Amino acid sequence: MKKQLERKPIANPSPVVPLQTRSIFPLARLALFVRAGGRCEFDGCNRYLLEHPVTLTEGNFAEVAHVVAFKPDGPRGKEGTRPKNINDANNLMLLCPQCHKLIDDHPAEYTRRTLEEYKERHENRICHVTGLGPDQKTSLVVVKTSIGEQTVAFPFDQIIEAISPRYPISRQGTLVDLTQLRGEDKAFFEAAGNTIQQRVARMFDPGGEIERAGHISLFALAPMPLLVLLGKQLSNKVPLDIYQRHRDTENWTWKKDGKRIAYEFRQLQSGTSGNRVALILSLSGTIPIKALPESIRAAAAIYEITLQGQSPAPTFLRSRQDLENFRIIYQEALGTITKNHGLVEAIELFPAIPAPIAVLCGRELLPKVHPRLRVYDYNKNNGGFTFALEV
């Protein structure tokens, strides 16, 4: 829940304090309507109260309810310390008639604390939505597959929190659902890769949501080779924000605290074949040279990007800047490989990386400049790294 904005009481502007009556001052009533956006503040209702729900006739169909009742013997009238001004906007809720009757008929269920939480969430949401500018639109793209036997959820409220201050042009967005495809063999990667290419191609149809938004917010969990392919398909056609699911908080919001990550690019082996190059990404875990296929260990020049000053770990990626720092060193690595080895047809890529970095690996490839990527997938049941697909 977002921290409630500190609000001064809005009540009687006169320095003379009269005896309290049920009459609510116009300024307090106006403040309540504005904070509520003209909608019912009961959690999950959100009914628009300035038109009739059937005939759509304009009018005021709202009721103003007290959180702490006007009289001490009323609903929630004796819960905690009573407000100094019972008619202050901070003690009022804008409700439809049905929700007003519900909370007052069942005060034991709809306590003061519960209603204050409803009010806070609703008014913070209205404040956030009305504060968004027209250039903050985005199109949601969700890519999901089964991880083992489970499918990771993408709660909409977590997505909204993660993309703030942007807002989705629609709730539906684009879903690339790979959960019906099972396996870890060549047939699986081929089928899943075809699905990704087809869905991404349709995403950019003229007049579609992405064209109207001019921006993509990507939430994706899938095997690394598929995410590299996804990034290549998305390329740089429109601006893109990529989000990470954090294991500690189990949400998708980039963190703003903590030390920023630095990366190190180095050559591990010169190789005996000038046109065969491998790039190891030891970020979520360490990939030793001995884990690579024999043919690559024997002949390829081998490079590595890893974390500087700390051991690789699954939770290292925390902030947008960490992702941007990787983009910079990845471009430097591609440039160095091209400089050292000329027009290499393909780079053998061995990733131990989080999902956003996999997407970035594909998206940062420049056509006619960088080599293709032959991406390997790690599966201990299949004996380690096996070739998955070419991007």
- Give CA–CA dist 211/216, Å, rounded: 10
Distance (Å, rounded) from C-alpha 280 to C-alpha 389? 16
Which residue in the block uniquely carries the two structure tokens 């500018």? 133
Tell me, yes or no, if the two domains 134-243 and 263-390 fold the same way.
yes
Count of H helices and E strands in the chain? Answer: 10, 15
The region, left, alpha or beta by phi > 0 then psi within -120 to 50, assigned to residue 39 is beta
State pLDDT tens for residues 18-27.
Answer: 556 778 899 9
Average pLDDT over residues 315-321: 94
Distance CA 165, CA 132 (A): 7
pLDDT for 340-385, tens place per residue?
A: 988 888 999 999 999 999 999 999 998 888 899 999 998 877 778 8
- The pLDDT tens digits of the residues spanning 265-298 come to 999 998 877 689 999 999 999 999 999 999 899 8
Q: Is the dihedral of CA 290, 293, 299, 305 positive or negative?
A: negative
The candidate with the shortest Cα–Cα distance to 157, out of 133, 116, 124, is 124
Average pLDDT, the chain: 88
Q: How far is CA 296 from CA 14, 191, 280, 293, 339, in A?
A: 83, 27, 12, 6, 20
Its CATH class, for the domain covering 263-390, is alpha beta
Q: Angle at CA 389, nearest 5°, toward 387 and 391?
A: 130
Please state the domain extents for the chain. 26-130, 134-243, 263-390
Structural fold of domain 134-243: Rossmann fold (3.40.50)
Dist. CA 278–CA 289, nearest whole Å: 10
The rounded Cα 196 to chain-centroid distance in angstroms is 20
Please say if the pLDDT value at position 151 is more than 70.
Answer: no
**What pLDDT is stored for residue 1 in this prediction?**
41
- pLDDT for the residue 22: 75
Look up the pTM and report it. 0.68
Whole-angstrom Cα distance, residue 76 to residue 32?
Answer: 20
Give φ, ψ of 130 to 5 degrees.
Answer: -75, -15
For 156, 158, 187, 254, the CA distances from 251, given in Å and listed in that order, are 11, 6, 32, 9
